[in-house]
Structure 1
Amino acid sequence: MASLILALPSKGRLKEQCEAWLAKKGLVVRQTGGERGYSATLDGFDDLQIRLASASEIGKALLAGDIHLGITGEDIVREAAGDVDARLTIEARLGFGRADVVVAVPNGWIDVETMADLAEVATDMRRQTGRRFRIATKFTRLTAQFMRDHHVADHRIVDSAGATEGAPAAGIAEAIVDITTSGATLTANALKILDDGVILKSESCLMKSKLADWNEATQATAAQIFNRLGLDRL
């Protein structure tokens, strides 16, 4: 019978924060195969597979049902699929890896403070120049939905391959949608966040895939993990 699969971040600060959070709950992660290994064990759990992967890989695996549980950022899964709530549940928000996905425009746009203002500018640009208002971003799905929700019709999303915050100054786009933690990078590039321009307040979360192959054994292992974490639900 297959073991429960838990995916954790494989590197960087997110890995450190995740392991520290688990350790505070008495769950010690021990990486196998050396520092470059991509598997680990969890003290006290023999019938458990731990996979170490990038945050984006964990998100895709949760959405596909390839793993049972995983820790990754909410922004990653919300961008990857439009039917996230049908595929997984967020079981706990962990308080680290916090970042906001936001709409930002140049500071010099003194009359643009809200999404309604931005919609008006986009309409005026289309009428006066025939061009659509350009928004540079790596978050194309979230951006498209947010623009629809705020009735910004006359726009075009530009898929950002580089430093998104530099797009307005480079003439690539009029506005951006990007992820920010402190806002310092936006400020350094003379950009401001619209008053109602926060698309998502993201953080690292423990997520459970609804599409994974759940059985009595994996449910029991998950229940033990959740109990150790102080969570009373599955």
Structure 2
Amino acid sequence: MTRIKLGVPSKGRLMEKTFDWFARHDVTLKRTGSEREYAGAVEGIGGIDLVLLSAGEIPRELAAGRIHLGVTGSDLVREKLADWDNQVASLALMGFGHADLIIAVPDCWSDVDTLEDLDAAAHAFRDTHGFRLRIATKYHRLVRDFLTREGVADYQITDSQGATEGTIANLTAEVIADITSSGETLSANHLRVLSDGLIHQSQANLFVTRAVDWLGTNAAFQTLVQRLNLTPPTL
């Protein structure tokens, strides 16, 4: 019988909360090596291997079928996988890892409160400066899709893989699109979320791949789904 591979975040609070979530269902996940080793094990159900990965790697590994189940944020799945719901399915919302992907502008832009205002500001910015307003983000797909739906077009994406809130002060962007949970970092950097600038409300999900056709009949998978008290999706 083919063994099931379960991918979980390899460090930090996401890993800890994932381990706790499974433990509440009498499934023990644990590291088997040192803190520097990405080795782990699943206890309580046979036929399942634990794979420790970065949260950002898990969507593509699921889509490729190299892992069969994976815990990661819904924001990462939607960002990294085009047509994501044909490649993976959500088995469970896990109740942690909550964060909002939002669009924020400088506090001093007192006349920009909505996406319609942002669209007008973007046109004025290009007329004044000769180049398009820059939006710093690492969520290129989600931001582009959202702004296209909302009719905002006159902008350019600037890639930012860290400290996105600082890009405006550093004069490398005029607007940001980023994940926030408390809003404290935005406030500290004198930024304000647009009133209709919520792109996606993310949380950790237990996802299952659609890339293999035998998963639904695998005994270990069936046992795990029953132990977790979940309804298996149509794969």
Q: Deviation per CA, 1:158-185, whole angstroms, max 9, x where unpaired?
A: 1114411011122111100011110100
Would you say 1:95 and 2:80 are equivalent positions? no
The secondary structure found in structure 2 opposite 1:221 is: helix
Aligned length, in residue pairs: 233
- Is the CA contact 1:65–1:213 (under 8 Å) kept in the aligned structure 2? no
Residue identity matched to 2:11:
K
For residues 169 and 38 of structure 2, the distance between their equivalents in structure 1, rounded to whole angstroms, comes to: 41
Residue identity matched to 1:26:
D
For normalisation by structure 1, the TM-score amounts to 0.94
Q: Deviation per CA, 1:4-55, whole angstroms, max 9, x where unpaired?
A: 1111111111111011111111111132234443232222222111111111
For residues 94 and 46 of structure 1, the distance between their equivalents in structure 2, rounded to whole angstroms, comes to: 22
2:226 aligned partner: 227
The secondary structure found in structure 1 opposite 2:57 is: helix
Residue identity matched to 1:131:
F
Root-mean-square deviation over aligned CA pairs: 1.6
**1:213 Cα shift?**
5.4
**Stretch of structure 1 that moved more, 37-46 or 17-26:** 37-46
For residues 148 and 216 of structure 1, the distance between their equivalents in structure 2, rounded to whole angstroms, comes to: 37
Change (3 A) 1:183 1:215: closer
Change (3 A) 1:215 1:144: closer
1:134 aligned partner: 134
- Is the CA contact 1:103–1:176 (under 8 Å) kept in the aligned structure 2? yes
Q: Once the two structures are aligned, what percentage of the paired residues are identical?
A: 43
1:46 aligned partner: 46
For residues 195 and 183 of structure 1, the distance between their equivalents in structure 2, rounded to whole angstroms, comes to: 14
The secondary structure found in structure 2 opposite 1:19 is: helix
For residues 212 and 5 of structure 2, the distance between their equivalents in structure 1, rounded to whole angstroms, comes to: 9
**1:217 Cα shift?**
5.2
- Is the CA contact 1:103–1:194 (under 8 Å) kept in the aligned structure 2? yes
For residues 97 and 208 of structure 1, the distance between their equivalents in structure 2, rounded to whole angstroms, comes to: 18
The secondary structure found in structure 1 opposite 2:223 is: helix
**1:91 Cα shift?**
1.3
Change (3 A) 1:215 1:108: closer
Larger helix percent: 1
For residues 205 and 5 of structure 2, the distance between their equivalents in structure 1, rounded to whole angstroms, comes to: 16
Would you say 1:15 and 2:15 are equivalent positions? yes
